[in-house]
Chains A and B, each alone.
Chain A
Amino acid sequence: MKTTISLTWLILIVLTITSAYISNLQGTYIAFVILILAALKFLGIAFQFMELKKAHVFWKGIIIGFVVIFIGIISVVI
């Protein structure tokens, strides 16, 4: 249990530093990559730290739905 939480924390830290680093790069898809990394971090917290992985499929679906719609709208508008 603690190993999974620790591994999740490590991945979240790496993803955060990576997103801050790539935000300095130039490119068409940089904004999209930053948003995808944010979505992965969001789901990592929800499923591992908040233990949503153990919850009913309804709660898993609604949180994934939120993040997909949110990132989708931002990616289209930006």
Chain B
Amino acid sequence: MNKVSINYKNIYYPPGGILLWIIIFLELFTFGIALIAMVFYSKQEPLLFHDSRLLLNATFGMINTLFLLTSGYFMAVSVAQLKANNRKKSNTYLLLTMLFGMLFLALKSFEYYGKLNEGLDLSYNTFFTFYWLLTLFHVIHVIVGLVILTSVYFGIRKPQSNTSIEDVEASAAFWHMCDLIWIILFPVIYLLF
């Protein structure tokens, strides 16, 4: 069994590739600045932010965090299996990764449906403007991530696949970026105010 090894110590080759990491930092800065702006706005209307936060279901937020973390775990195992040339196992873990990503989307959709039924839409107040913009923007990333992972799944399933380990690592880095963004969104939006 041949093991694939890449020298990540080179500054130009972080795991996932330098271009992906530039995108990751751009995304983190964008979400980070938006969250800092949200916290600044909360100082102007602390009661409104506190009451609005209580209208969110923190348990849904926590379960969604568990879904994404579990999905990220399977993604990491899938990459490790692929590096050990276990393509079949890698594909199985990739399917589990996508399953938990879809569970995240299903619960998020259920949460959105409830909020819209209660009239808590984008224009309800400042808190919900931030809530919708930030979480919807994140959901778009998750959907794009799932499309990329589906393409990787069919790519590495072929016997004569030209999908390289670098392609899979880049896709994995994008998927983990969705975890990273959610990890900073969840406490600020659902727990802090």
**Which positions in A face B, CB cutoff 8 Å?**
1-2, 5-6, 8-9, 12-13, 16-17, 19-20, 23, 31, 34-35, 37-38, 41-42, 45-46, 48-52, 54-56, 58-59, 62, 66, 70, 73-74, 77-78
List of 4 A-B pairs having minimum Cβ-Cβ separation, nearest first: A9-B73, A23-B191, A20-B62, A51-B15
Interchain residue pairs with CB less than 8 A apart (24): A5-B77, A12-B73, A13-B70, A16-B65, A23-B191, A23-B192, A34-B192, A37-B187, A38-B186, A42-B183, A45-B72, A46-B180, A49-B75, A49-B176, A49-B179, A50-B176, A51-B76, A56-B11, A66-B25, A66-B28, A66-B32, A77-B40, A77-B43, A78-B39
Asked if B11 and A20 make an inter-chain contact with CB atoms under 8 angstroms apart, the answer reads no
In the complex, which of the residues B77, B184, B192 contacts A70, with contact meaning CB atoms closer than 8 Å?
B184
Q: Which residue of A lies closest to B40 (CB)?
A: A77
User: B97-124 CB contact bits vs A (8 Å, 1 = yes)?
Assistant: 0000000000000000000000000000
A9-B70, A49-B73, A52-B14 as given contacts; A42 in contact with B180, CB under 8 Å: yes
Q: How far is the CA of A59 from the CA of B174 in the complex (A)?
A: 16
Interface-central residue, B11, B61, B69, by most chain A CB under 10 Å? B69
Neighbour of A38 across the interface among B8, B72, B73, B183, CB < 8 A? B183
In the complex, residue of chain A having the shortest beta-carbon distance to the beta carbon of B6: A54
Q: B59 at the A/B interface (Cβ < 8 Å)?
A: yes
**What is the total of A-B residue contacts with beta carbons within 8 Å?**
116
A45 CB to closest chain B CB (Å) equals 5
User: What residues of chain B have their CB less than 8 Å away from a CB belonging to chain A?
Assistant: 8-11, 14-16, 21, 25, 28-29, 32, 35-36, 39-40, 42-43, 58-59, 61-62, 65-66, 69-70, 72-73, 75-77, 80, 172-173, 176, 179-180, 183-184, 186-188, 190-192
Q: B70: which A residues are within 8 A, CB to CB?
A: 9, 13
Give Cα distance in the complex from A17 to B80, angstroms: 27
- A9-B73, A49-B176 known; A23+B188 contact, CB < 8 A: no
Q: In the bound complex, how far is the Cα of B42 from the Cα of A36, in angstroms?
A: 20
Complex CA–CA separation, A62 to B179 (angstroms)? 18
A-chain residues with CB within 8 Å of residue B187 when the two chains form the complex: 19, 23, 34-35, 37-38
- Most central of B11, B14, B39 by chain A CB within 10 Å: B14
Cα distance A10–B187 when bound, in Å?
19
- Across the interface, do A74 and B36 meet the contact criterion of CB distance under 8 Å? yes
Q: Which residue of A lies closest to B65 (CB)?
A: A16
- The residues of B that contact A1 with a CB separation of less than 8 Å are 80
Determine the residue in chain A with the shortest Cβ distance to B179.
A45
